[in-house]
Amino acid sequence: MRLLRWLGLLALVLYLLTGVVQVRRGERAVVRRFGRVLEHSPEPGLWVGLPWGMDRVDRVEVDTVRSVEVGYRPDADTAEDTMPQGQLLTGDHNLVNVQAVLYYKVRPEEVADFVVAGPNVPALLERAAEATLAGWVAGQDVDEVLLRGKTALRGELIARVRALVEPYRLGVDVLDARVAKVAPPDEVKDAFEGVTRAQMQIVTLRNRAEQEAAGRLRLARAERFRIEQAALAYAHGKKVIARQDANRFLQRLDQYRKAKALNPDYLRQVWQEERARLFAKLRESGQIDLLDHHLSSGGLDVLTAPRMPGRR
């Protein structure tokens, strides 16, 4: 009889201990008492509540990054008359296989919503991601999907999935996305790869032509700049020479006016000096010669000017 009492007491203690839960680091706990979720979420440490049957404690790792894979799965069993999962239709009515991975984490302040949603969280995230993939692919042509799909879809998935699942209060935060596969179906893969190679070659040739055109344009601009600078330098030199000639002329004119006031025959004297220098240059170049050896000793010398009337 005493043994039964001790066994009953031990069973009672063990039952009461079911209300003691150790919440580990990186976890948050959700307590449901008689099915109702308590507002308080126990943080890491020892939690003492009511025993099993009254309290139910769910521990959730809030520091763990979770993932869900969506889209095309080559190893999935699909009937021959149905379209494979993740095979989507583009805006120009071509088929492409798209596969992506969505990364998310539980929000510590909304861990109760995550527990209530339970196993529906991955499924809802997968449906939202599939809807986003299908919508984006349907709005693009096949070339755009194959060339830009991996980069453009990442941002679209993150923003769009966040907006779609927000009303459902799943208690998760979508952190990132990775587009693992964007490819044509295996039946036409070789043809698409040939088209892609040709398009890449076109892009390469266009880039090369643009680079060559840019180089020639730079050379032409440099040549134009050189010609403009040479023209400016030539014009400046001509202006300097013209100013110098004008200054010399003005100085000579001033000298002439002063000399004219002192000697009325100054202009004739200047003329004779200039004529003598001109004839000397012509004689040195062989363009003119004296006529003395063709005339008599009293003949006319072209370098001798007639005497002015009234002067001896």
Beta carbons of 68 and 125 less than 8 angstroms apart: yes
Beta carbons of 97 and 185 less than 8 angstroms apart: yes
Q: What are phi and psi of 146, to 5 degrees?
A: -70, -35
Kindly state the tokens that stand for 293.
Answer: 């050896």
Rounded to an integer, the average pLDDT of 106-122 is: 85
Mean pLDDT of the chain: 80
Please tell me which residue, 244 or 186, carries the higher pLDDT value.
Answer: 244
179 forms beta bridges with: 100
What is the CB neighbour count within 10 angstroms for residue 283?
A: 13
- Say what the pLDDT of residue 178 is: 93
pLDDT at 129 over 90: yes
Please tell me which residue, 302 or 289, carries the higher pLDDT value.
Answer: 289
Beta carbons of 192 and 146 less than 8 angstroms apart: yes
Measured CA to CA, the distance from residue 292 to residue 272 in angstroms comes to 20
Residue with tokens 């001790």: 6
Rounded to an integer, the average pLDDT of 176-203 is: 82
Rounded to an integer, the average pLDDT of 245-263 is: 86
pLDDT at 306 over 70: no
**Range ranked top by mean pLDDT from 146-155, 241-250, 270-279, 286-295:** 241-250
- Say what the pLDDT of residue 30 is: 72
> What confidence category does residue 304 fall into, taking pLDDT thresholds of 50, 70 and 90?
very low
Range in 145-149, 261-265, 288-292 with the lowest mean pLDDT:
288-292
CA angle, 293 as apex, 292 and 296 as ends, to 5°? Answer: 70
Rounded to an integer, the average pLDDT of 227-251 is: 94
Rounded to an integer, the average pLDDT of 179-208 is: 83
- Say what the pLDDT of residue 184 is: 84
Residues of the chain with pLDDT > 90, as a percent, come to 34
Rounded to an integer, the average pLDDT of 224-252 is: 93
With 0-12 / 13-18 / 19 or more C-beta atoms within 10 angstroms meaning exposed / middle / buried, residue 63 is exposed
